Structure 1
Amino acid sequence: MIEYIKGELAEAAPAFAVVDCNGVGYGINISLNTYSAIQGKKEVKLFIYEAIREDAYVLYGFSTKQERELFLLLISVPGIGGNTARMILSALSPRELCNVISTGNDKLLKTVKGIGLKTAQRIIVDLKDKIASTGIEEEASTVSSLSHTVNTEIYEEAVAALVMLGFAQAPSQKAVASILKAEPDAAVERVIKLALKML
């Protein structure tokens, strides 16, 4: 079993990364959260989940163990496969997902592409207690407290502009937060331009 892959980031796209580990390039499916975390890095370490089927051998990679734990919880729900779980983790950050599940917010979960109301309700019912018992929620809030250091005025303005341009709220927030983390003094125009390249 592969626990993690550490090596040089040879390629990175919003849904896929290639990590060169001692001359072997591993093609790894990633979420938008992980893409934001690894962007611009030369060396990366991705925690791996291996999906071995008759017709395919697929690797899913995550920048944190906590995101992988959430992925494993999601795929334990009947009807949720690897790609749907990855879609959910791309639309919502780990903290947002924990929040949505613990507060029973099926409306927000339903906004994720490919998730209907019944599936959203099933995810909440199946995972509410599991999330509380694993302590993922506390970890998630620690991770996201970093985002409080970004300039809130520019953050809100940039997110509002991206939403008006037709992008979904959650990925826009994620993109803007990661840009402002890297460049805290960036002007709104620059943040929006960079976000457009990421989304």
Structure 2
Amino acid sequence: MIDFLRGQVAQLENEYVVLDVHGVGYRVFCPNPYYFAAKNDEPVTVYIHHHVREDAILLFGFATREEQKLFRKLIEVSGIGPRVALGILSGGSPSGVVTAIHQENINFLIKLPGIGRKTAQRMILDLKDKLDGMGEATLFDPIPDEIELMQEGNLGWPEAREGLKALGYTDAELDRVWQLMKDNVRPDEAVDSVMKKALKLLYAG
């Protein structure tokens, strides 16, 4: 089984990257492909979940071990397949999702792509006691009270902006991108989702 890949981003699409590893191109489906495009042509490490089924062999890739581990926990929940789990991670950071499960915050979970109330309840029931040690905040994660801020209608842009600055983007670039995207950002949108939209615009120039 493949655990991680390290190589150059050869192709970028909305749902996946093609990673060139010593001349072999691997199609890897990611929560946020544009994160890897922001590395200025440097080699990137993508942590992999190697998914095998009767009709396909698929690679799902993540920027951190934490995302990889949470993805594997999510697909253990009845009704959540790899595609839905990928959507969950594209709509919320690991710390946000784990915090919501620990706090039994159904209102947050049903805002994630592909998650209805019954699935949210099943996530809480199945995972609440299995996520110890997961969900620690990282540079690209929301601040600890992200969920409360989202419920009050605040935007995820300030946190997303800090993460983008850490990737090397200038204030001028970020101000320009925000003007282009601000009307398409929901008040309750997760930080990772806001970053994905911004990186797509930045990558397009």
Correspondence for 1:183 among 169, 183, 191: 169
Pair 147,97 (structure 1): closer, same or farther in 2 beyond 3 Å: closer
Q: How does 1:8-157 map to 2 (within 5 A)?
A: 8-32=8-32, 35-41=33-39, 42=41, 43-132=43-132, 135-137=133-135, 140-141=136-137, 143-144=138-139
SS in 1 for 2:171: coil
The TM-score normalised by the length of structure 1 is 0.76
What is the aligned-residue RMSD (CA, Å)? 2.8
- Rounded to whole Å, the distance in 2 between the matches of 1:46 and 1:186 is 29
How much has 1:13 moved relative to structure 2?
2.8
How much has 1:92 moved relative to structure 2?
0.2
Pair 31,173 (structure 1): closer, same or farther in 2 beyond 3 Å: farther
SS in 1 for 2:130: helix
- Rounded to whole Å, the distance in 1 between the matches of 2:84 and 2:140 is 27
Pair 2,180 (structure 1): closer, same or farther in 2 beyond 3 Å: same
Q: Which AA in structure 1 matches 2:35? A: A
The TM-score normalised by the length of structure 2 is 0.74
SS in 2 for 1:186: helix
Aligned 8 A contact 1:36 1:178 in 2? no
Aligned 8 A contact 1:50 1:57 in 2? yes
Post-superposition CA distance 1:17-68 (Å, at most 9, x none)? 0000111100000002xx3531222211111111111111110011111100
Q: Which AA in structure 2 matches 1:66? A: E
Matched length? 174
- Rounded to whole Å, the distance in 2 between the matches of 1:30 and 1:63 is 9
How much has 1:190 moved relative to structure 2?
1.5
- Rounded to whole Å, the distance in 1 between the matches of 2:82 and 2:37 is 22
Is there any run of 5+ residues in structure 2 with no aligned partner, and where?
Answer: 144-148, 182-196
Higher helix share: 1
Is there any run of 5+ residues in structure 1 with no aligned partner, and where?
Answer: 149-155, 164-168
How much has 1:15 moved relative to structure 2?
1.8
